[in-house]
Structure 1
Amino acid sequence: MIELKDVCYSYEGEVVLKNISINVKEGEKVVLLGINGSGKTTLLKVINALIFPQKGFYFYCGVKIDKSKMKDRDFVKSFRKDVVLLFQNPDVMLFNPTVYDELAFSLRQLGLEDKEIKERVLYWADKFELSPYLDKPPFKLSGGQKQKLCLACLLVLEPKVLLLDEPTANLDPKTTGWLVDFLYDLKATTIITTHNLSLAGELGERLLVLGEDHTIIYDGRVEDFLKDEEKMLKAGLLHKHKHKHGEKEHTHYHLHNYL
């Protein structure tokens, strides 16, 4: 469904993605892990066609995605409905006068009839416990409610691919638990970035790890990675240090505090 071949991307000469090659099948739940600056958000933007590979290729359902393809209005309309991205900061995604308008916005852009728009809006508002706030301005919602609203605004499109950038960053433990359960039951293909190593196994079955060198250094099962100290060290997710206690030398490992 999603195929990247030797994708490279740099910002002002600084490498952010280097020779990224991955295949994601329909229905897969993938977790993307890596330290700050490893390229996680950039990779999601490539898959969402907000930016394009400077080297290498990106294919969605066998179609090469590049600047020229994204000038095809019919294709863009279909692609934007299929592949959606949730940014880490919900405030950058909210701009309509009411919660209802926020949920209805993308559906109106697609030209759906008012009856269907209302049905979808009410369905997803109920699903995300937002029904009491439909007439309220989005900025009056709590951080967790804003995050729920942004996710609902994407799911109202009934997308095939859901890209989530640190979706639990602004959530309390209760809402985080709710989101994990919700995503578990979701049929869409999901690629989720996280700093929370303890959540990785609950957010997906397959783990991709971006190393400090901006390459994919691991692609496999979450639990296998968490048992491999050398791989975690290579990813910069674990710190190793030695100290002497009397005549004996001891080695200690620590997870970095941003996890």
Structure 2
Amino acid sequence: MIELRNVWFSYDGEFVLKDINLKVEKGERIVVLGINGSGKSTLLKLLNALLFPTKGTYLYKGKNIEKNAFKDKNFIKAFRKEVVLLFQNPDAMIFNPTVYDEIAFGLRQLGFEEKVVKERVLYWAEVFGLTQYLNKPPFILSGGQKQKLCLACLLVLEPEVLLLDEPTANLDPKSTGWLIDFLNELKGVTTITSTHNLSLAPELGNRLIVLREGGSIIYDGEAEAFLKDQEKLINAGLVHKHKDKPYYHLH
């Protein structure tokens, strides 16, 4: 479904992703793990075609995802409906006057009939407990409610690939638990979730992609096996030791 071949990406000449090779099959639940600055957000933006490889190839369903591909309006519509990205900060995604308009925005941009828009908006508002806020401005919502709103805005499109950038970063424990349960129950959607939280990684997916500082993949496999390997954890910068302690540990 998704394939990256020898992908490199640079900002102002400095590479933040290096020689990334990755295949993702339909329905997989993948976690991208790494410290801040390892390129997790950049990788997700590249998969969402907000960025394009400096070198290498990104294939989605066999089609080369490059700037020229987005000259085809039909392809743009299909891709933007099928591959969606949840940003780390919900406020970066919210700009409409009401919660209803926020959830409806993507469907309207893609040309859906208003009858279909209303049906889907009401359905996802109910799923996320937002029905009572539909006619109110999004800025009054709590942080957890904004995260749910942003998820509704994406899932209303019925995407095939859901990319989530540090989705638990601004959530309290209760909201984090809710999100993990929701993602575990989500059917028919490929999920790729970034995090630097070791304890959450195995709950967010069963395949782990680990990026080291500098943006290269150092592990691709089962989450549990990686989390039990101290040498790999040290290499990824995910554990450390203090000067006065002889052993490595987590924070």
Normalized against structure 2, the TM-score is what?
0.97
Work out whether residues 18 and 215 of structure 2, in 8 Å CA contact, stay in contact via their aligned partners in 1.
yes
- Provide the aligned length of Structure 1 versus Structure 2: 250
Alignment of 1:150-189 (within 5 A): 150-187=150-187, 188-189=189-190
Rg (Cα) greater in structure:
1
- Between 1 and 2, higher relative CO (CA 8 Å, sep ≥ 6) is seen in 2
Alignment of 1:1-259 (within 5 A): 1-187=1-187, 188-240=189-241, 251-255=246-250, 257=251
Q: 1:241 to 1:89 in 2, by over 3 A?
A: closer
Structure 2 unaligned runs (5+)? Answer: none
- What residue identity is the alignment partner of 1:179? L
Structure 1 unaligned runs (5+)? Answer: 244-249
- What residue identity is the alignment partner of 1:182? F
- What residue identity is the alignment partner of 2:122? L
Deviations 1:215-247 (A, max 9, x none): 10000001000000000000000114676xxxx
Mean Cα deviation higher: 211-220 or 72-81: 211-220
Q: Distance in 1 between matches of 2:243 and 2:196?
A: 26
What percent of counterpart residues are identical? 69
Work out whether residues 234 and 240 of structure 2, in 8 Å CA contact, stay in contact via their aligned partners in 1.
yes
Q: CA deviation at 1:251?
A: 2.9
Work out whether residues 208 and 216 of structure 1, in 8 Å CA contact, stay in contact via their aligned partners in 2.
yes
Work out whether residues 84 and 159 of structure 1, in 8 Å CA contact, stay in contact via their aligned partners in 2.
yes
Deviations 1:129-175 (A, max 9, x none): 10110011001111110111001100000000000001111111111
**Runs ≥4 residues deviating over 6 A:** none
Q: Distance in 1 between matches of 2:199 and 2:141?
A: 28
SS at match of 2:125: helix
Q: Distance in 2 between matches of 1:15 and 1:37?
A: 12
Work out whether residues 39 and 214 of structure 2, in 8 Å CA contact, stay in contact via their aligned partners in 1.
no
Q: CA deviation at 1:213?
A: 3.1
Normalized against structure 1, the TM-score is what?
0.94
Deviations 1:168-218 (A, max 9, x none): 111111111111011001120000001221111110000000011311000
Root-mean-square deviation (CA, aligned residues, Å) is 1.1
SS at match of 1:111: coil
- What residue identity is the alignment partner of 1:233? I
Decide which structure has greater strand share: 1
- What residue identity is the alignment partner of 2:210? V
Deviations 1:93-118 (A, max 9, x none): 00100000001111111111111111
